[in-house]
Structure 1
């Protein structure tokens, strides 16, 4: 796909899907705006984009802050004056040691002949744990979408791709009710906004990945060992998780010319059909 001359904003370009999307758009000759809260992650993504000769504006931004998002868009407008594609990728994922413990508990519960019981996840979630997911995963998507639409509505064109998760449409991530709730909210928000703006040639859709073979998740698999990994793969008909390049390719498709409005595309290897 060719995005020559298109202005594309990708949020959350740390290691994983965000950086993979930025690189894919760079290869497709887009002009990029990238953001991340972590300066080291931002610099690394900017370096990757530069290797493909793409023009890039890198902005440190915490998308959970309305003020910081507004300031980022001011820089975008000063540089380019328009926005063709927004990829709302920035998110907090369940990666703390407690999250990993809950994840392993869920996988074992699903695969082993254990007595049925409450897994006692939700009852142990603190206010702080619950709220930290919402700031980035939901509020950040809203803040960025609001600013993007101010530009796209004037242009009468645009594409917005919200990165949700299989966690928002199934019980596969029951180990993290807070994360699942936010990703479900992203799907509902996507459908509502998509209906609202489709008449202005602004198409809003979501991608809801299944497992993503990120460095962080591969490290988790190494930690739990071969037996636990084998139990996990029993729940994935394809026998593996999707690669970053495969998911980034889907994002590029949703950012191009198509007839999709308010759809949730879930590449997940058959985990949820």
Structure 2
């Protein structure tokens, strides 16, 4: 029970990686707050956490709106007293049809002997598409971190885990420059804030996942041809996606009393970006 009685907030927890981390925290004794912009989708996650015998509070939050973030933390104060752990998991990923086409072009250029050419993405990107990713993936991390630090610094204890991506530390962005830029900003923010607040016994670190075995990613793989699937696995030396529970175990360590890392960027990508395992 490494997190016994700690209040742990996980954003974007309605499914996928956020759900996996929340369940891992619950198994270690945490009192878990799950939040998402889609509050209705949190009900199954809350039920799973309660089945494990853990206390759970499910809240709506739009992390791109600072007022929504502040209101969420105020409710946590009322119901649970404080916040000890924050996982900034909420984020946008490229998942529209044109994003799938970009991925296929990227994978083809990365794995086949085709003539060198531009993927032609950035020149066609709109202001709205750029800002949409930045507002959730960067502004959201800042708003939640700022609110959490008000509580954590006052109690001289806290753990903040930011979820970035291997897209933020390499060209393996599959291939979305706006997503890479936003996740790279999360990495830089982690380092700066980690250095800033560690003297108050608040440890800030970052996980950079590669592919995560979520229903959405599995649906994407299922619609690929066998050749396209083989192309994808050529880019992942381990030959499979990371399981939410594996990422959850890593998050448990970073959230625990045993953690000695400050401003660290942990690459968990199945070998996709071996040269930058810790950057």
The answer to whether TM tops 0.5 is yes
Equivalent residue, structure 2, for 1:87: 87
Counterpart mapping for 1:1-273 below 5 A: 1-256=1-256, 257-273=258-274
Distance change (3 Å), C-alpha of 1:174 and 1:238: closer
TM-score by length of 1: 0.98
Partner of 1:266: helix, strand, or coil? strand
What is the CA–CA distance in structure 1 between the aligned matches of 2:12 and 2:2, rounded to whole Å?
23
State TM-score, norm by structure 2.
Answer: 0.96
* Equivalent residues of 1:16, 1:215 under 8 A apart: yes
Which structure 1 residue ranges, 4+ long, deviate > 4 Å from structure 2? none
Displacement of 1:14 = 2.1
C-alpha separation between the residues in 2 aligned to 1:67 and 1:54? Answer: 28
Tell me the distance in 2 between the aligned counterparts of 1:109 and 1:117: 8
| Partners of 1:6 and 1:31 within 8 A in 2 | yes
Structure 1: gaps (5+ residues): none
Q: Could you report, residue by residue, the CA deviation over 1:191-240 in whole angstroms, capped at 9, with x for unpaired residues?
A: 00000000011000000011111111111111112111111111211111
Deviation string 1:84-110 (CA, Å, 9 cap, x unpaired) is: 100000001111111111011111111
Q: What is the number of equivalent residue pairs in this alignment? A: 273
- The CA distance in 1 between the partners of 2:221 and 2:40, in whole Å, is 25
Deviations 1:159-197 (A, max 9, x none): 000000000000001511111100000000000000000
Tell me the alpha carbon deviations over residues 6-54 of structure 1, each in whole angstroms, 9 at most, x when there is no partner: 1100000122000111111111111011100012321122122111111
Contact kept? 1:174, 1:180, Cα under 8 Å: no
Verify the 8 A CA contact 2:14 2:34 in the aligned structure 1: no
For residue 209 of structure 2, give the secondary structure of its aligned residue in structure 1. Answer: coil
**How far apart, CA to CA, are the structure 1 residues paired with 2:183 and 2:171?**
12
What CA RMSD, in Å, does the superposition of the two structures yield over aligned residues? 1.0
CA distance in 2, matches of 1:270, 1:107: 16
Q: 2-side partners of 1:44 and 1:125: how far apart?
A: 36
| Structure 2 spans left out of the alignment, 5+ residues | 275-279
Q: What is the Cα deviation at residue 83 of structure 1? A: 1.2
For the residues of structure 2 that align with 1:211 and 1:174, how far apart are their CA atoms?
11
Mapped to 1, the partners of 2:174 and 2:32 lie a distance apart of 35
